[in-house]
Amino acid sequence: MPETPEALLARLDAAGIAATTHRHPPLHTVAESKERRGDLPGLHVKNLFLRARPPQPFLLVVAEEDAPLSINALARRLGTGRLSMANEAELWERLGVRPGSVTPLALVNAPPGSIRLVMDRRLLEGEGPVNLHPLTNTATTAVAPADLRRFLETLGHPPEPIDLEADPANPLA
**pLDDT tens per residue, range 77-87:** 999 999 999 99
Mapped to the 3 state alphabet, what secondary structure does 76-104 carry?
HHHCCCCEEECCHHHHHHHHCCCCCCCCH
CB contact at 8 A, 1 and 130? no
Looking at the chain, how many residues does it have?
173
Centroid of chain to Cα 68 = 16
User: Considering only the top CATH level, what class is 5-162?
Assistant: alpha beta
Checking if the pLDDT of 165 tops 80, the result is no
Q: What pLDDT score was predicted for residue 170?
A: 46
pLDDT (average), residues 96-102: 95
Is pLDDT larger for residue 167 or for residue 125? Answer: 125
CB contact at 8 A, 94 and 86? yes
What is the spatial distance between Cα 64 and Cα 44, in angstroms, rounded to a whole number?
Answer: 6
Cis bond upstream, residue 57 (ω within 30): no
Positive or negative: CA dihedral 122, 69, 99, 152 = negative
What is the spatial distance between Cα 49 and Cα 51, in angstroms, rounded to a whole number?
Answer: 7
Amino acid sitting at position 30: V
Checking if the pLDDT of 76 tops 70, the result is yes
- The helix or strand, by DSSP H or E, that contains position 23, with its residue range, turns out to be strand 19-23
- pTM higher than 0.75: yes
Q: What pLDDT score was predicted for residue 166?
A: 67
Q: Which region among 65-69, 88-92, 141-145 has the lowest average model confidence (pLDDT)?
A: 65-69
